Structure 1
Amino acid sequence: MMSSNLPPSAAPEPEGSQAEYLEQGSGAPLPPAAAPARNLRPFVIGGVAVAGLAVAGGAAWAAMSFFSTGSQPAEALPGSTLAYLAVDLDPSGGQKIEAIRTLNKFPAFKDELDLDTDDDIMKRLFDEIQADAECANLDYEDDIASWLGNRAGVAVVDAEPTVVGAIQVTDAEAAEAGLEKLRNCGANGDASEPAPADAEMGFAVEGDWAVVAETDDIAARVLADGAEGSLADDSAYQTWTERAGDPGIVTVYVAADAADALVDNLDRFFGSAEDLGGLVIEQSAYDDGTVSSEGDVTVAGEQVPDDTAETMESLFEGFDGMAATLRFSDGAIELEQAGSFGSQFQLLYASDRGADAMTTLPSDTVAAFGVGFEEGWLRALAEQFAQQFGDLMGEDMTVDDMFEELSTQTGLDIPQDVETLTGESMVFALGPDFSPEQFMSSGDGSDVPMGVKIKGDAEGIEEVLDKLRDLAGTDADIIGSESADGFVAISPSDDFRAALLEDGGLGDTAAFKDVIREAEQAGAVFYVDFDAGDDWLVELSGDDPEAKANLAPLSAVGGSTWTEGDVIHAVLRLTTDD
């Protein structure tokens, strides 16, 4: 059955069976995203109340839910979909337990929301939003919960990008009636008053899915294209979502063709040529800029070349797709991503030494950021920059010319001295007694537990540091350094410098191992321990007992990136105390 007209919103109907811990069947889809430019007219209308309900419901249930192997919105969308975001609001019982156990550690969730496992959270949200922006003659049970399923997605389809929404429905006939009422709400604020015939928004329902789009025809075509070959069956989609790890509550996918579509439709995403020209003038230092009717930009009497498309093409050159997943995992909230972004991005993560120096930091380190470096990294980065943004360097300037000029200005031998200084692995670290107030009030930094540790050619690094101290003059004490066993520690604090130089075993701590994935092959790593230094994060909340109680469960946050062939992986984890 196909039908027409209008957007989705809030709240599912229970599907009859309950998970072993948390009742399933409550939740709402995320609404379709707004069109990316002013000539892509919005097509999702359900009124402020309905839109708010969808967003709030999706967020609340995404927080309480985990993945379930059931029908997904990708099954209703065409295989040519350019970008896709889906929320699964009906995860399996065991994964729901993992989510609820994690979230119940926070009083704001457990006590203040006052939710039982069998509460219909969507009914609660619907009532609250209706109180703020009421839609007349709209009944939750009859008009929403009677048809809305537990999974929804937002997608960009077609070479000329069009945003659509795909929503699981439990009753096609009821969905048609409910969507019609929501359309009326958006147009008139009254579900019983028909929307104008020229309202440029529509929907189509077929089987277990409704698609919402700008027009009925677009929605129907998307469903038909999905039936012929769905995104779920597309090999690229399958490959990238598998690379993003175990499925979770949110799935994101961007196809390789999305980059070309973005470049081909720059005016639809960023405005007209005149708008872009005006932006150039606005951000320049000149007052006498002009933009012609064709969008040609003249600043200080010189025409500015329109190389926006070329720059974007260069930026996305080599992009071959990506996917990401948000999930609950072992008492943590985890975001995992995998993508092929081209050599210009891969260069930044090519090393597998990002954690080499970090793992030797003191075990009570509060925060650290580490990066690994391959030989010749600075020259490679400069050559890549010159290839993409050569105009900024000047027409006749080469990379060698740029290095020579920088060397003359600084007294350093560039790029050799810079690459020697960074070593194989470098980490910036904060000790357990660090505080922003201490940092701001310190005169010379000698009392601030802050510094850098480098793994590399210690003798060569010290020689470069001597050059920097000569340049610093009277401020040379800030670059105090010590070296031992192939490491150099740099800090204005004698005590912290000595602590940095020791092998403190941070990499062997439970908090580090729990929060950092693939440390042995990571190109870049960051780490923050919320429990270090007598629970410094809790102390930052001052005398607010509510804030203290909700910050106390947090243990650590960290992220790591690594490469496998031409694929860049990244994992971000936020862990909680047991």
Structure 2
Amino acid sequence: MSTTPPGGPGNTPEHSGEYSPEYLDSSGPATTAPANDNKKRLIALGAIVAGGAIVAGGAWAATSFFATGSQPAEALPGSTIAYASVDLDPSGGQKIEAIKTLRKFPGFTDKVNLDTDDDLRERMFEEITKSGECEGLDYADDVKPWLGSRAAIAAVDLGEDEPTAVGVVQVTDSGKADEGMAKLVETCGGSTGAEDGSGDDAAGGTGGWVVDGDWMVIAETEDVAQKVVDATDDGTLAADSAFGQWTGEAGDDGFMSFYVAKGAAKYLEDAAGMGSMLGVPSPLGAAPGSTGFDENCITEATTPEEMEKCFDESADDSTGGTGSEELPAEVQQMINDFDGAAATVRFNDGAVEVEYAMSNYQSDFTKFLSSEEGVDMVSDLPEDTIAAFGFSLSKGWAQGMLDYVKTIVPDEAATIDDQLAQFESETGLAFPEDVETLLGEGVTVSVGSGIDPDAIANGGPGEIPVGIKIKGDADEIQAVLDKISALAGPEAEQYLQVTEGDGYAVLALQDSYRDTLESDSGLGSSDLYSKVIDDDAQTVLFVNFDADDDWLVRLSKDEPEISENLAPLSAFGVSGWVDDDVVHGMLKLTTN
């Protein structure tokens, strides 16, 4: 059975900013609400059961996990182009990991104070309805008997001009789910059917849902929800090979999962054309001001209808009524090359992880970052390093980057060349030769132990333990730095002197830190580094919160509340690497 409450015309994706629980507010006795209010209430209620973990508080969602078993992808068609799921199951290993991790932070314990046996769905429901709305609605009687633990929000391509936004909620009892959803709407200020009792969309629907087996699909109208359900007859998202490929590339399951399909690229293409139509400088290369858009029209518009007419007239005047704009071939190729992306958020061994994978649709850029030289350099930094960033660069990278930028903004290519020529004339620096020499084959920027705010305040930059190591010829690098020194003046010259240390050129503000960097050390073999940096990394960012006598806690000691919530942090790492046609990334934050 499906139910569609009545009301005004259906919402569209561009009005999604109205979909907020704030529409549940009321200030008087329950009365029949206007159609639009009913619609907003239903969308808000849909947010409670479908997107509540995202809308109402990551704190609740952050204690859940993506368990094995049925998933919302089974209730969505293969034409789904974007998907975000969450699991609110109150049991499982990841929940235990999450609770153990989050309870280390006093702020979480004070504000949330979740225990392992708490029903996260109930806590979320209480948080959303604590303002006093939905009086008379009881979670144990009206929601718990039918609400499952898994939910998702998604965008589905149903062949329309824009994707269709839907929510999917797991249900444990289909009959009670239909009744329970109807009571949610009625109790919270909406109505459960047309005034004539027919429940027909034609009578004026405010939104709708369809219960199909173990899932409830919530959409703009019941008719749209039914279309989504019917579309699964041609194949589900869960059975789609691309979905399986990209979610697999994103690693082990977690408590949240995200997916973007290749089909989403066509909407990016449409957006790029729309940006050009409006005369907006497009990052995808559309020429600004090429459409004859009348800025006075939108300035003088006093109603939404008049503003919309401005856009319609602009499209007719500039593009023959199609609103389209041809993209540069290189940009079109990048869109065509995008095959998909996915990400997973999980708890693991006292750490929270975000792992992602996406198609390497920018291979002309990423090919210059495929060496592990920069990561090897980070591994050779002192073990007590506070923070470090390392990357590698293949020969020809500077010219390659310039060519890449020109493909993004082809109409500015000639201007870029003119500006570079002027830059070379004024500075004496040669591009790309000097830039490639300066950064060599790999670079690390690091901060060492010994941060003393008082010493820095009194002694200046020379007291800061910051340094740079470059894989390259020290003499050639110094020659480039000499050109920069001549431009920067004598005050900068003392900081632009390199020394050579075991094949690297070394720059440092502090003499003692320079000495440390000139020889190899063992950061890469430390336990903390190994916990947060992936073995396959080609680009690395590493932060050690435990180093230098808990430097972050020490520096924040004058703010006790902040300091005690920073104390549990141990290390943070970001790893990036390219594996053939896939770009991988991993973010890890560990606690003590």
Q: TM-score scaled by structure 1?
A: 0.82
Please list, as runs of the form range in 1=range in 2, the aligned pairs for 1:245-260 lying within 5 A after superposition.
245-260=251-266
* Closer/same/farther in 2, CA of residues 47 and 227 from structure 1, 3 Å limit: closer
DSSP-derived class of the 2:464 partner = coil
Contact 2:344 2:355 in 1 (8 A): yes
* Closer/same/farther in 2, CA of residues 428 and 409 from structure 1, 3 Å limit: same
- Return the offset for 1:263: 2.0
Aligned equivalent of 1:476: 493
Identity of aligned residues (%): 43
Contact 1:240 1:339 in 2 (8 A): yes
- Return the offset for 1:436: 7.2
Q: Within the alignment, does 1:532 sit opposite 2:551 as a pair?
A: no
- Return the offset for 1:476: 1.2
Please list, as runs of the form range in 1=range in 2, the aligned pairs for 1:373-522 lying within 5 A after superposition.
373-394=393-414, 403-434=420-451, 441=457, 445-474=461-490, 475-518=492-535, 521-522=536-537
* Closer/same/farther in 2, CA of residues 467 and 290 from structure 1, 3 Å limit: same
- Return the offset for 1:373: 0.4
Instruction: Report Cα offsets for 1:419-466 as digits up to 9, x if no partner.
Output: 111111101111223367876x47751111122111222232222222
Please list, as runs of the form range in 1=range in 2, the aligned pairs for 1:57-456 lying within 5 A after superposition.
59-90=58-89, 93-110=92-109, 113-158=112-157, 159=159, 160-184=162-186, 188=189, 198-264=204-270, 273-274=277-278, 276=280, 294-295=313-314, 310=328, 313=332, 316-342=335-361, 343-347=363-367, 349-394=369-414, 403-434=420-451, 441=457, 445-456=461-472
DSSP-derived class of the 2:577 partner = strand
Contact 1:49 1:129 in 2 (8 A): no
- Return the offset for 1:36: 4.5
Q: Distance in 1 between matches of 2:82 and 2:168?
A: 13
Name which of structure 1's ranges 86-95 and 50-59 shifts more when overlaid on structure 2.
Answer: 50-59
Q: Distance in 1 between matches of 2:449 and 2:579?
A: 35
**AA paired with 1:167?**
V
Name which of structure 1's ranges 233-242 and 108-117 shifts more when overlaid on structure 2.
Answer: 108-117
- Please report the RMSD computed on the Cα atoms of aligned residues, expressed in angstroms: 3.7
Q: Distance in 1 between matches of 2:587 and 2:282?
A: 38
Contact 1:346 1:566 in 2 (8 A): no
Q: Distance in 1 between matches of 2:100 and 2:335?
A: 41
Contact 1:458 1:483 in 2 (8 A): yes
* Closer/same/farther in 2, CA of residues 438 and 3 from structure 1, 3 Å limit: farther
Contact 1:44 1:212 in 2 (8 A): no
DSSP-derived class of the 1:354 partner = helix
Contact 2:56 2:128 in 1 (8 A): no
Aligned residues: 532
Contact 1:352 1:562 in 2 (8 A): no
Q: Distance in 2 between matches of 1:119 and 1:180?
A: 26
Q: Distance in 2 between matches of 1:180 and 1:348?
A: 57
Instruction: Report Cα offsets for 1:32-89 as digits up to 9, x if no partner.
Output: xx96424998577447688468246663443222231110000000011101111122
Q: Distance in 2 between matches of 1:462 and 1:266?
A: 44
* Closer/same/farther in 2, CA of residues 326 and 131 from structure 1, 3 Å limit: closer
- Return the offset for 1:317: 4.6
Instruction: Report Cα offsets for 1:267-308 as digits up to 9, x if no partner.
Output: 8xx88955959999999xxxx96567633799xxxxxx9969
* Closer/same/farther in 2, CA of residues 461 and 297 from structure 1, 3 Å limit: farther
Contact 2:42 2:206 in 1 (8 A): no
Q: TM-score scaled by structure 2?
A: 0.80
- Return the offset for 1:156: 0.7
Q: Within the alignment, does 1:37 sit opposite 2:23 as a pair?
A: no
* Closer/same/farther in 2, CA of residues 156 and 499 from structure 1, 3 Å limit: same
DSSP-derived class of the 1:454 partner = strand
Aligned equivalent of 2:320: none
- Return the offset for 1:372: 0.7
Contact 2:145 2:173 in 1 (8 A): yes
Instruction: Report Cα offsets for 1:234-275 as digits up to 9, x if no partner.
Output: 0001011111110111111111111112322568xx889559
**AA paired with 2:502?**
D
Q: Structure 2: where are the runs of 5+ without partners?
A: 20-38, 298-309, 318-322
Q: Distance in 2 between matches of 1:61 and 1:131?
A: 15
DSSP-derived class of the 1:433 partner = coil
Q: Distance in 1 between matches of 2:496 and 2:343?
A: 41
Contact 1:5 1:203 in 2 (8 A): no
Name which of structure 1's ranges 189-198 and 361-370 shifts more when overlaid on structure 2.
Answer: 189-198
**AA paired with 1:473?**
G
* Closer/same/farther in 2, CA of residues 325 and 131 from structure 1, 3 Å limit: closer
DSSP-derived class of the 1:253 partner = strand
Contact 2:5 2:193 in 1 (8 A): no
- Return the offset for 1:103: 2.5
Q: Distance in 2 between matches of 1:411 and 1:548?
A: 48
Q: Within the alignment, does 1:541 sit opposite 2:556 as a pair?
A: yes
Name which of structure 1's ranges 547-556 and 34-43 shifts more when overlaid on structure 2.
Answer: 34-43
Contact 1:537 1:551 in 2 (8 A): yes
Q: Within the alignment, does 1:570 sit opposite 2:547 as a pair?
A: no
- Return the offset for 1:91: 7.2
DSSP-derived class of the 2:376 partner = coil
- Return the offset for 1:492: 2.6
Q: Distance in 2 between matches of 1:35 and 1:367?
A: 46
Instruction: Report Cα offsets for 1:352-391 as digits up to 9, x if no partner.
Output: 3231221122211111111110110111111111122121
Aligned equivalent of 1:13: none
Q: Distance in 2 between matches of 1:403 and 1:201?
A: 56
Aligned equivalent of 1:17: none
Q: Distance in 1 between matches of 2:553 and 2:313?
A: 57
**AA paired with 2:470?**
I
Aligned equivalent of 1:20: none
**AA paired with 2:86?**
V
Q: Distance in 2 between matches of 1:455 and 1:243?
A: 32
Q: Distance in 2 between matches of 1:281 and 1:39?
A: 29
Contact 2:185 2:191 in 1 (8 A): no
- Return the offset for 1:524: 1.7
Name which of structure 1's ranges 37-46 and 451-460 shifts more when overlaid on structure 2.
Answer: 37-46
Q: Distance in 1 between matches of 2:187 and 2:370?
A: 53
Q: Distance in 2 between matches of 1:307 and 1:429?
A: 46
DSSP-derived class of the 1:568 partner = strand
